């Protein structure tokens, strides 16, 4: 029977020291002016004219209702959803940041 070679035990890899966490811990007890929270939609690179796609899967009956609305009103399917969704998003954001 051939002798099996034993592989040496490997130690766990060295971890990088988390300097951000250390900086945070070093600052405990220090009170300074509270920074105003910024939100992702307020960042300087976010533009109103850029449109993003959001694939939306909805049940067929709901789709047909939306199509019916678009066929019988001045709204397109997209503009109807966008108008209603914008209102709901603004209300939810207001609730979350208060």
Q: How confident is the model at residue 21 (pLDDT cuts 50, 70, 90)?
A: confident
The whole-number average pLDDT for the span 20-29 is 69
85 or 33, higher pLDDT: 85
CA separation (Å) from 83 to 23, 39, 78, 88? Answer: 44, 22, 9, 9
| 74-96 residue pLDDT tens | 999 999 999 999 999 999 999 99
The domain segmentation of the chain, as residue ranges, is: 57-98
pLDDT at 77: 96
DSSP state of 42: G
Q: Is the pLDDT of residue 52 over 80?
A: yes
pLDDT at 90: 96
Nearest to 97 by CA among 47, 44, 48, 36: 36
**CA dist., res. 56 & res. 11, Å (int):** 48
């Amino acid at each position: 029977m051939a002798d099996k070679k034993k592989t040496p035990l490997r130690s766990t890899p060295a971890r990088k020291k988390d300097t951000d966490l250390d900086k945070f811990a070093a600052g405990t007890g220090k009170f300074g002016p509270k920074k105003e929270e910024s939100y992702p939609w307020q960042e300087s690179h976010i533009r109103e004219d850029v449109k993003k796609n959001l694939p939306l899967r909805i049940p067929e009956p709901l789709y047909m209702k939306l199509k019916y609305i678009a066929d019988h009103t001045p709204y397109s399917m997209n503009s109807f959803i966008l108008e209603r969704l914008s209102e709901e998003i603004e209300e939810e954001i207001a609730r979350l940041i208060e």
